[in-house]
Amino acid sequence: MLHKEVMKVSGKSFAIPATICFLFIIVFILVEGTFRIAGIPYKIKYIPNGNSFARFDPELGWSYVPNKSAIHKAGKITKPVHFDENGIRVPNSGFQFDYSKPSILFIGGSFTMGHGLSYEESFVGKFDAIEEVPYQVVNLGVQGYGSDQALLALKRYLTEFNTKIVVYTFIEDHILRNGSYDRRTLVPTAKFLGTKPQFALNSEKKLYQAKKPLLYKDYLHSYVIDFLKIRLGGILGLFPPFPEELTKAIIQEMKNYSNEHGAYFIVLNWRWTDNDYDTLFHNLDVDVIDTMKDAPDGWEKMVLLGGIHPDAQAGDHAARLLLEYFRTRDLLQKEAD
């Protein structure tokens, strides 16, 4: 009799938490469905124009469509863009690289790519046009890239070219991008092509790739959890992540990989004012060109449409800084090495 009573009590003890768990799951599913229907936290309000000439890339997250020419719209600005057989931005349709020619690879995001500018107006294009520069210029910049994607692009293409120099354009936003796997968490109103690669540091502070890109249809995630991460994390100061040590490790890997393959590595640290973020490179063993050096009057206003992207005039300054650096380091004589 006592045994049966114990069994009943035990059964009731198990039934209560099981019922609570079941109800919690039902409520969670209902809330999840409501969030997805309502578009919380991801409600598409615009599609980046770059999507029209980009594609999902299973290694890089996204890249440009090979052999495509299109019109790039940035607000009221419209500019032509052309891409070669690899999806690399080039000056004109049908342009072909000489893979044997000593080359400079420019890596980075939209500042490097030349968002809202023609090829010739971008700082990469302006540097390319300088007669004193003996190298072939290769623009591997892609809109929205973080340091992580720039590193992977470098590893994809460095050995494809006769690479002598690598220039990485750094902006503070890259740190935020390096800390995210899904760019929608940073820009919830935009439609993107998929998630991105993400790196991490192991217990020994060694860099490794923790995640690979996925199409959204293959990406299992919760809108509810993402909402809590964004809102509650923001209130607690935990979101968005700002992984400085990870970013340092990624940039150091850029340098190491470049040097291992006989290429000189430089960072172009793009800042608009003296108050802009500038601590990342204080203890990092890389050569850095700061755009605040000899910045012209009104430098911080040399942007497109009052935004953040450099205009053609800003490109003149960046190209001059690069040329000056190349002269002082005797890098203009390296084409035969």
Predicted confidence at residue 298, as pLDDT, reads: 96
Q: Give 287-333 pLDDT, tens digit per residue.
A: 999 999 999 999 999 999 868 999 999 999 999 999 999 999 999 98
What's the pLDDT at 277? 93
Q: Is 161's pLDDT higher than 60? A: yes
217 and 85 share a domain? yes
Please give the radius of gyration of the chain, using alpha carbons only, rounded to the nearest integer. Answer: 24
Q: Among 244, 116, 239, which Cα is nearest to 188's?
A: 239
The pLDDT of residue 180 is above 70: yes
Shared domain check, 116 and 33: no
Three-class DSSP labels, 179-192: CCCCHHHCCCCECC
Mean pLDDT of 243-251: 99
CA distance 212 to 58: 7
Lowest mean pLDDT among 19-23, 49-53, 218-222, 256-260: 19-23
Flag whether pLDDT at 6 surpasses 90: no
Residues 229 and 328 in one domain: yes
Q: Say yes or no: 216 and 314 in one domain.
A: yes
User: For residue range 218-230, what is the model confidence (pLDDT) as tens digits?
Assistant: 999 999 999 999 9
Measured at the alpha carbon of residue 224, what is the angle toward residues 219 and 229, in degrees to the nearest 5? 90
CA distance 239 to 176: 10
Specify whether 34 is located in the same domain as 56. no
Indicate whether 8 and 135 sit together in one domain.
Answer: no
Is residue 234 included in any domain, yes or no? yes
pLDDT over 70, % of the chain: 94
Q: What is the tens place of the pLDDT at every residue in 98-124? A: 999 999 999 999 999 999 999 999 999
Residue 7 has pLDDT above 60, yes or no: no
The pLDDT assigned to 187 comes to 97
Same domain, yes or no: 24 and 64: no
Is 325 domain-assigned? yes
Chain length of the chain: 337
Q: Are residues 194 and 89 in the same domain?
A: yes
Instruction: Indicate if 70 and 20 belong to the same structural domain.
Output: no
Q: Say whether pLDDT at 26 is over 80.
A: yes
Confidence at residue 15, expressed as pLDDT on a 0 to 100 scale: 76
What is the spatial distance between Cα 187 and Cα 281, in angstroms, rounded to a whole number? 27
CATH code of the domain covering residue 86:
3.40.50.1110
Residues 28 and 63 in one domain: no
Supply 11's token pair.
């059964």
Structure pTM?
0.93
In a domain, 139, yes or no: yes
Q: Are residues 150 and 237 in the same domain?
A: yes
Structure tokens at 276: 């802009």
Residue type, 83: F
d(CA 143, CA 114) in angstroms, rounded, equals: 9
* Residue 43 located in a structural domain: no
Give the pLDDT of residue 30: 95
Query: Do 32 and 77 lie in a common domain?
Result: no
The arithmetic mean of pLDDT across residues 196-210, rounded, is 98
Number of domains in the chain: 2
**Could you tell me the residue range of the domain that residue 143 belongs to?**
49-333
Band (336; pLDDT cuts 50, 70, 90): very low
| pLDDT over 80 at 10, yes or no | no
* pLDDT value of residue 281: 95
Confidence of residue 247 (pLDDT cuts 50, 70, 90): very high
Q: Which of 72, 68, 69 is nearest to 48 (CA)?
A: 72
First-residue to last-residue Cα distance in the chain = 93
In this predicted structure, what is the pLDDT of residue 16?
Answer: 80
Rounded to the nearest integer, the mean pLDDT of the chain is 94
